[in-house]
Amino acid sequence: MTATAPETGASCLGPQPPGRRERKKQRTREALIDAAFVLFAEKGFDATTVEEIADAVDVSSRTFFRYFASKEDVALTFQEEQVQAVAAALAARPADEPIMTALRRTAVEIARACEAGELGFEPGRFECMLTLVKDSPALMAGSLEHAQRKQALLTDIVARRMGLDPAADLRPHVVTAAAHCGFQSAADAVGRMGGTFATLSEAVDQAFAILENGLNDPVNPAE
């Protein structure tokens, strides 16, 4: 094995993605995200062009679109991780918790993680994102659409937890949608009424408290 063979056997290196190519790719991707956020913060989302972002990283705008499907996409990457985190956190909650209680604890947990920057992006960036989404209609639309698509994933988890068939029963859909609204309302509130809530997690907790007061009991035939 002193010869040429070992190179192919990357088996012992394990953890890292084997190639250098992968790493380079990852670096480009992150550089694009960084540059995008700097420019967005500077000039606003709409006023920033894809070309500027690409130029800042010294790639062509065509390349930008090989990493991100759209300009909105680059600003909303974090939401992907956020949804995954929510799904994982919800699955980890004890099965005997009432559904809205479980969702409330999950939501608060995630909100705290966002504030602490534990989801793969710095805490400051999260705030920045909230601001951007708040005052760019295009981003708002993208964000809502994204959330809408990801909601199906959570609905399945919620339905399983409630022991209901999501294809036949409205309840899991309404519950999930309400939870999403709660989070959204809380995020809005933090931006809107500056003084009232110091942190997102606080607002989230309060929003879900409101929901919990009645969506809690899943066992009623509804009419």
Partner DNA sequence: GTTCAAAGTGTCATGGCATGACACTTGTCG
Partner DNA sequence: CGACAAGTGTCATGCCATGACACTTTGAAC
Which residues of the shown chain bind DNA in the complex (CB under 7 A)? 4, 7-8, 10, 18-22, 24-25, 28, 48-51, 58-63, 65-67, 69-72
CA 182 to each of CA 44, 65, 66, 167: distance values in angstroms, whole numbers, following the listed order: 27, 33, 34, 23
Residues 156-175 binding a copy of itself (CB under 8 A) are 167-168, 170-171, 173-175
Contact partner at residue 205 from a copy of itself, DNA, none, CB < 5 to 8 Å by partner kind: a copy of itself
Q: How many CB atoms lie within 10 A of CB 221?
A: 4
Separation of alpha carbons 143 and 183, rounded Å: 13
Binding flag, residue 4, a copy of itself (CB under 8 A): no
8 Å CB contact between 171 and 218: yes
180 is an interface residue for a copy of itself by CB under 8 A: yes
188 is a site residue for a copy of itself (CB under 8 A): yes
Instruction: Give the nearest distance from C-beta 140 to a copy of itself in angstroms.
Output: 6
Q: Which does 63 bind (CB under 5 to 8 A by kind): DNA, a copy of itself, none?
A: DNA
Q: DSSP string covering 59-121, please?
A: S-HHHHHHH-SSHHHHHHHHHHHHHHHHHHHHHTS-TTS-HHHHHHHHHHHHHHHHHHT-SSS
Compare residues 23 and 192 and give the one whose CB is closer to DNA. Answer: 23
Report, in Å, the least distance between residue 157 CB and DNA: 30
Q: Which of residues 110-139 bind a copy of itself (CB under 8 A)?
A: 137
- Name which of 136 and 155 has its Cβ closer to DNA: 136
Chain centroid to Cα 219, Å, comes to 31
Q: Given the rule CB under 8 A, which of 31-39, 40-48, 88-96, 213-221 is the region that contacts a copy of itself?
A: 213-221
Over the window 77 to 106, marking each residue x when it contacts a copy of itself by CB under 8 A and - when it does not, the resulting string is ------------------------------
- Quote the least distance from Cβ 45 to a copy of itself, whole Å: 14
Pick 36 or 76: Cβ nearer a copy of itself: 76
Site size toward a copy of itself (CB under 8 A) is: 43
Q: Rounded to whole angstroms, how far apart are CA atoms 191 and 46?
A: 20
Instruction: Provide the 10 A C-beta neighbour count for residue 153.
Output: 14
Tokens of 17: 């993605």
Residue 202 CB coordination number (10 Å): 18
